[in-house]
Amino acid sequence: ATPTAVRHALTTDLPDEPLRRPGALLAHRLTAHLPPPPPFRAPAAPPPARHGLRTCDGCDRAFRAPETETHCRDCRAATARPGSQ
């Protein structure tokens, strides 16, 4: 149950007179007045690994890539095109 649902179940329509057994009232309300639990949802897949920052060997720009990459995206694209650089 959400915190709002618990708060609503515990504080709605409280009696005006002092309670002799407030714990019993709370126990009753928590068992009888809470909405049903939400349906089970499988945990989400963990996010993909985030690679550390590296410096491009071509232009000294910082970029994120696995340790096997030595050039940033722009430098890799420039070397892949014939006649560039």
Q: Which residues of 52-73 are buried (b: 16+ CB within 10 A; e: fewer)?
A: eebebeeeeeebebeeeeebbe
Tens-level pLDDT at each residue, the chain (85 residues): 788 888 888 888 888 898 899 999 989 988 888 878 878 889 999 998 899 999 999 999 999 988 889 999 999 999 887 665 4
| Residue 23 structure tokens | 């714990």
The pLDDT value recorded for residue 83 is 61
The pLDDT value recorded for residue 84 is 52
Domain ranges of the chain: 3-32, 49-85
Strands 62-64 and 53-55: antiparallel
Interior angle at CA 77, CA 73 and CA 83, nearest 5: 150
The pLDDT value recorded for residue 64 is 92
